[in-house]
Structure 1
Amino acid sequence: MLTSHYQVTGYVYAGPQSAFRHTEQILDHPTLIAIEAGSFEFAIGPTAGQAALGDLVFCPAEVSFKRSALSDITFHHVHFQKVKQDKSDCPFPIGKISIQDVIRLSSTYNYLRNLHLLTNDPSARLSIIKQYLLPDLLLLTELELLQHMKQHKTNDLLMQQAYSYLQLHACLDFSMSQMAANLGISRSQFTRRFQAAYGVGPAAYVTTLRLEEAKRLLLETDDTLESIAFQCGYESGSYLCRVFTSKIGLNPSSFRQKYRI
């Protein structure tokens, strides 16, 4: 998930103001503008559009980010960096993501605005903002991308074939490079086309499917972690434990104990 791959390094709450301080930037880190009031136009590379309340606008590192206010604007500006030890496939989103759960989004904005009323400790405020409130924006984004992937109908017949194959075989031991070769394209082409079709990379999608199966087995069976790892396509229980803990936020044993009925 995005929350496991990117961490917050900077945050600014701005507005209301009539314009952006910088109308164009190329930053060396991924960034997000979460608009709370007003609206603005943006262009991120070839991607362009308008954003208003409920919209999160993402720009990867080293990409031109142009923006122009259409009215007085209030927004949250967040800087990220990729987790250094993470080398897996989870590209930073590009452009606008519209959040449907505006109640939760508004609640997160409210806490960000008013956290100073709850605690006078600057370090405590910063910790809550970086560890919980801003990652919640990434979580809402992840949920929107998953919903989009579920509903999206792509015209890319080759990616439809790949999507169906992954759903059926995600828990088997297979090579993503070999799968790309079987499709007649390179690994990088496969990743780009799958991302364009479904809003998530194929490796990240496989991880999601495997962890959902792992959660099911943890809750519905008494199988050992080693057995569950094997059934989900992982080489060992210790490796599954590392992935599970990183993505879910609990280790498998704690997850089983907490959620099993």
Structure 2
Amino acid sequence: MTPPSYSSASHWYREGRQACYVRTMKSPGGILDLLEIEGQSGDVSRPGVPDIVLYQDVHGGCRIRGDIGGGLFDVTTKKGGLALAAPDFATTTIADTRHRVRCLALPMAHWQSVLDDAADGRFSFEKSGIYGRIFGSSAIGSALRNLWALCDDEGAPSRLLAQAAGCEILAELSRLGGAPFRPASGGLAPWAERRCLELMRARLSDDISLDELAAEVQLSTFHFARMFKRTVGVPPRAYLTRLRLEKASDLLERTDLPVTEIAFEVGYSSNQVLARVFLKNRRISPSDYRRIVRDPLRADALQ
């Protein structure tokens, strides 16, 4: 009997024999997938999937044996330790104890062109020696923490957030593998900066992607992200959050629209998401902000 094939890592973890161990799954669709798995001891092998899959041990202290694309290994993991599984490789992995891992799956169909462009087609994970070993990276650890924290605030990551995080993590994996991405040469031209910011304002309620912004100014996704940050001072996702908060604040001040409707107007899926973002960035809830700006006496009392 031919075993079933799986179109992605998330497909396997949704429907394969380890599906019951998946505790969290977040995905913007086709860009990256975030999963958290509470695994049992024993065989945790999986079939080959067309994704680069980055694993991070949440607690550490688990002995893992097998092969995830770089030859046989036998290690005891450390808290926050990382491992990279090769695409289209059927892993063979045995865990000696219960464990908790976070997975970041990057579909090669989406990311191969970014890798080719950023490294002039020179980089190959297969030749880098980074597959199948446990390693540490403060840059990747920080990127993953930020990605999960933002998902906790906003739900499934936006396409802009997912693509920016993927670029950042792949850049560091490439550096660790011995083929650093080419640095961005300068920032955006004034016309390109102006056009991008206009587009972001015009499509504030949309799930706009890094690809769309880059295409608007005829740049590759990877180099656009770096040039935008160099010019504007913050990544595109952070700037979009700033624009959304500015628009939400304006609507709270000038209109009687319900907070839920304002959330939809600025691109958030619910009033709860807007409230979390508002509290994180403004240290106040949207409703309290509206009351204060409309009641100067109360505002003075709180100062």
Provide TM-score, normalisation by structure 1.
0.40
| Structure number with larger C-alpha Rg | 2
Provide TM-score, normalisation by structure 2.
0.35
Structure with the higher strand share, 1 or 2: 1
